[in-house]
Amino acid sequence: MRVLILLPPSEGKTAPASGPSLDLDSLLGADRLTAARREVMSALAEVSRSAEGASVLGLGPRSAEHVRTNLELETSPCSPTHQLFTGVLYEAAGLDSIAEEAAGRAALERHCVVLSGLWGILSPTDLVPDHRLSMGTSLPGLGRLPAFWKPHLAPSLTDMAAQGPVVDCRSADYAAAWKPSARDGIEVVSVRVVRTADDGSHKVVSHMAKHARGLLTGELLRAVADGSVPAHVHVDDIATIACHLEGIDDVEVCEPDRQGRRVLTLVTR
């Protein structure tokens, strides 16, 4: 068995100044997904050339200039996904430091998948260029990307997830692109982050949720890499790791719902 961590991408990116050009055949699931990736690339280029490109892609005035990066996908320099994405979750996870050691890099490649509006799924070590496309976008000819990607991603992700528990750290749009189910023999643990209010109630948080999910991702991958978690990882093992995260006061694990999904709730300060 193996744990599989599902991550969203990051709006924050650090574009590489140098690196190899894009090789679609090297990306995760290329045998099943290359044709679909070319469809999205083509539709994205068409939108990005139009006067409405920034609006369709949900980019504000300060970010509108980034549209042109979508016209240079096959010639722009590429960097590993874990270096390209530099948002709150990725900074908290510290994937760069994990990838420095051979065991850590192997853990990234075997136990972590990043969902992407443009590429569908990526390994954290896949080489990709800077780009702008969120999963919530609707592209002419393709429609909303979660609906487009859903039938393409299901075979690959179902195969990967069947080997152990899935720790789902995705946001709503990315979760819609593939919904694992106990009917497929998949054990799913969604990570929820809340803060205890003055009245004792739990309030869902957003910014801190990314940070907490990043911390959990990093610690779980390190535990896998150094062998400190058992080969047959269970939800209780994941909860134990979460209990020791900085800023986490409590951890709750609910019973499976009708779809067989469980929720791991991290209570922050």
Tens-digit pLDDT profile for residues 163-216: 889 999 999 999 999 998 777 788 899 999 998 887 777 888 777 899 999 999
User: Would you say 214 and 89 are in contact if contact means Cβ atoms under 8 Å apart?
Assistant: yes
Q: What percent of the chain has pLDDT over 70?
A: 97
At 42 the pLDDT is 97
The model's pLDDT over 230-265, given as tens digits with 9 standing for 90+, comes to: 767 888 999 999 999 999 999 999 887 777 789 999
DSSP helix/strand/coil, 57: coil
Q: How far apart are CA 141 and CA 193, in angstroms?
A: 36
User: Would you say 210 and 88 are in contact if contact means Cβ atoms under 8 Å apart?
Assistant: yes
Residues 6+ away with beta carbon under 8 Å from 203: 194, 195, 196, 197
Question: pTM, whole model, 2 decimals?
Answer: 0.94
DSSP result, 153-186: HHHHHHHHHTTS-EEE---HHHHTT----GGGT-
Q: How far apart are CA 205 and CA 203, in angstroms?
A: 6
